Amino acid sequence: MANKLRCPGQDQRFWKPEDIFDVRCPNCGNEIEFWKDDPFHTCTKCNTIIRNPKIDIGCAEWCKHADECIVGELMK
Ligand SMILES: [Zn+2]
């Protein structure tokens, strides 16, 4: 998990346990662990790209770190 891409504009020290949650893959039902600022994950079983249902992609419109962030890449 150490190489996961994260928005540098968010500080995980203030996160709560519920900020980490599981999302079920729509293709195969595999459960993927999401952190609240993960824009997407690839299913470990079937490689389907699963978008984070809780993330606000709009943050890339104002976040000064958008250029360094995968969310900014998705906005292009
Ligand atoms: Zn899957």
Cα–Cα distances (Å) from 15 to 10, 19, 27, 36, 49, in that order, read: 9, 6, 29, 9, 25
**Dihedral sign of CA atoms 29, 27, 56, 37 in order:** positive
21 Cα to the center of ligand 1, angstroms: 16
pLDDT category, 1, cuts 50, 70, 90? very low
* Higher local confidence (pLDDT), 45 or 60: 45
Q: What is the pLDDT of residue 29?
A: 97
Q: What is the pLDDT of residue 14?
A: 72
pTM given for the model? 0.56
Residue 10 above 80 pLDDT? no
Residues with CB under 5 Å of ion ligand 1 are 25, 27-28, 30, 43, 45-46, 48
